[in-house]
Amino acid sequence: MTKVMCLAVPVRVISKEGDAAETEIAGVRRLVSIALTPEVKVGDYVLLHTGYAIGIVDEAEAKETLKLLEEIANLSEAHR
């Protein structure tokens, strides 16, 4: 049996219009669907999975997760 892992990444909402929001992570901006999180506000952090904001997260939790993801990436680079 193959195990599959899904990853949702915290991103910050820059602007929103209707069911879409412009988000940013590490300087990269992307338009995503907020149909599942219509209550999101500009400045909030959301968990992004396959183009959809699937939940709103606390800013401190989002920043800690991003820090850990960066550390993982740095470790991966160091082992090449």
Whichever domain contains 70, its CATH number is 2.30.30.140
In which domain, by residue range, is 46 found? 9-78
Helical (H) or strand (E) element with 28: strand 28-33
Confidence of residue 27 (pLDDT cuts 50, 70, 90): very high
8-12, 33-37, 52-56, 65-69: which range is least confident on average?
A: 65-69
Confidence of residue 32 (pLDDT cuts 50, 70, 90): very high
On whether residue 42 sits in a domain, the answer given is yes
On whether residue 2 sits in a domain, the answer given is no
How many domains, the chain? 1
On whether residue 4 sits in a domain, the answer given is no
On whether residue 68 sits in a domain, the answer given is yes
pLDDT of residue 2: 73
pLDDT of residue 9: 94
The overall average pLDDT reported for the chain is 92
Q: Please list, residue by residue across 9-19, b when 16 or more beta carbons sit within 10 angstroms of its beta carbon and e when fewer do.
A: ebbbbeebeee
pLDDT of residue 74: 87
Strand, helix or coil for residue 37: coil
On whether residue 1 sits in a domain, the answer given is no
